[in-house]
Structure 1
């Protein structure tokens, strides 16, 4: 029997070390997820909720977001009429870059409409609401450009124009008129446009008949019209905008290297980039997304529900951040559950080893508590350090500023991370002691 006991001792030691490792891993994850959750919550509250994020809805034009149809002028008017909607800001994405002959460093900025999403945290200057058409808000520093030097000053920026002046007459008289009947059918509620299209249809049919003879010879405006949509020539124009404010470049919920202009200016840039006029953009494809600010006292969820009944996919602006916080909190509870179970098994193993070695007594509870406490302190310290090390990747992923001290969990969470392994180990040891007494196990 002695040999059997001796041969069983090594596996028990190995099992105890394995259980201790499991406790250490779960306690580390508990501390790490507590720090990440704390930092994400603080960043979301500071940069999203306090910036009217709780009163904002975002509407995407993607059909996958349950939005049907284009976010054009007609749809915007319908949304503005919904009870509880205070303001609707359309977003027209485009881009701006430094001109070739400029003294500015070479950079390229994505452009969005100011107010179509939660405004970024400003580091300099101020924004007059609404943002004037001649103003721009840019990152403080990006791609080697220091925009803080230009606060309050005008800078010249370049944008793309996807059509040239020589192309406009044939497009107006030819191919565009040939599709007038289709446009008027798609916009039946626009009575004036339908009447105008009806008057032009006879003329366009005659011109189309003349153009149909042109393509075989490879000449005439009819031969060039099909090529314009597929590969329109690009030209560069410049625009002067005043740098009204700069924001923290760590904030990139709209993507990195993003500039913000007034919706009117954004529409002009986006229309030029797509070879349209702003009027054609408003009446046709419309905006890429909408930022909706609800009236004071209105419930964001109820307004969003009304819009979704209209087949407009409207969701709270901080929905992504809220879901991420929920996911991290879920893993935190998983880690806490793992700590309690594994630490309880660790305490039971200690009692089992003591009983098997003929050392049974009350000291097992204290030994289990000390092992659990040391494990909790070590794992909590490592978890906090890991959360601090993950600060930059978290900012990159979340798109919000994360201050280092927010990654250190609060007193209650620190206490749970430190004491949970010790308390669970004591509970496991106590249960193991009672079980050994009941079964009369003496080894």
Structure 2
């Protein structure tokens, strides 16, 4: 780079710094896409796949779909007997509400192996007991922190007729609280053992738990296999047996357009950034050289050769691309961090600020491509103008 590059870049409005705004925007977009994709991938890997999602299969039961096998007791036993299956946990949904203090009304679900709750207080045992419950830290204006570790009376609905019901009471110990922003099953969910969740669902239907589980069945179930390599075979076996079965890892990978769109945006962004930088280099270098042809002609007459003039232009290109890369990475990283909260809501998973930092490879691309592309374009765009005879040029501009 010529020693004159910094001077001409700063002082001459016709220098290559005119390419800086466009390159900055492109570098920022590339960095933002990289940060968003990194944050989403890290959250999914940590909170879904890292918690055993790679070895889990989800069974669903859709009301009214005759082709889908209901998740009754016998059906779940058949699922448990499939090759490679280690455990089947059924999810029954009902509700718990305030019996004494408070006005909350919480949806209840079974705590399945796929629920990796972000616990804020207490500890979730390896297997939740029948008289234990895990609650959100705050729900519907009620702070459950003072009740942690205590046995609390909850109300639940017990049907007594076709259109009537009474309130029954169940006492449960609150063993842990989780971050209420984690809403994989919706807001304000109380997590119970499978037997307790089935008890509440059966009561709401006006049936005994055993009858309810035999006839109505669960709304979904999580199947755990011994190793991830057995997931495909177990899924096919379950589907052949009439179950609606899908690997949890497939569901995660197919999150609505998020990963595919972000990954595509990054790859296309690299290509666009490189091509635009080269194109800008060609156009801006040619325009800048023509606008300063008189100055360059005088420098040629005073002894500066074409290589020296190219070094001046290359210096301006590197400075413009370097500043664009640095500013673009800073702005793109800031935008990515600002999107952490909305992205967490979309995924239903907690994303840390450090998760949303773009990877070093993408940062390097955003930093280097503007300068490299602009430099290549400058070499191409300045050739024709710099070939002109300096004496004829100086005379024409005198």
Answer yes or no: is 1:388 the counterpart of 2:337.
yes
Answer yes or no: is 1:429 the counterpart of 2:378.
yes
How many angstroms apart in 2 are the aligned matches of 1:422 and 1:66? Answer: 62
Runs of 4+ in 1 over 6 A off after TM superposition: 16-19, 63-67, 435-440
Q: How much does 1:434 deviate? A: 5.3
Structure 1 residues 300-379: aligned runs within 5 Å: 300-323=231-254, 324-357=258-291, 358=293, 359=296, 361-362=309-310, 363-379=312-328
Match of 1:71 in 2: 71
| Secondary structure class of the residue paired with 1:250 | coil
How many angstroms apart in 2 are the aligned matches of 1:303 and 1:427? Answer: 55
| Secondary structure class of the residue paired with 2:246 | strand
Match of 1:148 in 2: 145
Structure 1's 274 and 432: CA in aligned 2 closer, same or farther, altered over 3 A?
farther
Match of 2:198 in 1: 267
| Matching residue within 344, 354, 359 for 1:410 | 359
Structure 1's 438 and 95: CA in aligned 2 closer, same or farther, altered over 3 A?
farther
State the superposition RMSD in angstroms: 3.0
Match of 1:58 in 2: 58
Q: Is the 1:134–1:240 Cα contact (8 Å) retained in structure 2?
A: yes
Q: How much does 1:298 deviate? A: 4.3
How many angstroms apart in 2 are the aligned matches of 1:439 and 1:18? Answer: 24
Match of 1:158 in 2: 155
TM-score (norm. length: structure 2): 0.81
Answer yes or no: is 1:278 the counterpart of 2:206.
no
Runs (5+) with no aligned partner, structure 1? 1-12, 168-227
Runs (5+) with no aligned partner, structure 2? 1-12, 297-305
How many angstroms apart in 1 are the aligned matches of 2:338 and 2:46? Answer: 21
TM-score (norm. length: structure 1): 0.73
| Secondary structure class of the residue paired with 1:120 | coil
Structure 1's 424 and 308: CA in aligned 2 closer, same or farther, altered over 3 A?
farther
Q: Is the 2:239–2:245 Cα contact (8 Å) retained in structure 1?
A: yes
| Deviations, residues 140-185 of structure 1 (Å, cap 9, x unaligned) | 2233322232222111112222x22xx4xxxxxxxxxxxxxxxxxx
Match of 2:95 in 1: 95
| Matching residue within 250, 258, 262 for 2:181 | 250
Q: How much does 1:17 deviate? A: 10
Match of 1:117 in 2: 114
| Secondary structure class of the residue paired with 1:287 | coil
How many angstroms apart in 1 are the aligned matches of 2:61 and 2:136? Answer: 26
Q: How much does 1:334 deviate? A: 2.2
Q: How much does 1:427 deviate? A: 2.4
Q: How much does 1:18 deviate? A: 9.9
Q: Is the 1:66–1:312 Cα contact (8 Å) retained in structure 2?
A: no
Match of 1:180 in 2: none
Give the number of equivalent residue pairs.
Answer: 360
| Deviations, residues 58-84 of structure 1 (Å, cap 9, x unaligned) | 122238999712121222122111101
How many angstroms apart in 2 are the aligned matches of 1:322 and 1:142? Answer: 30
How many angstroms apart in 2 are the aligned matches of 1:435 and 1:273? Answer: 84
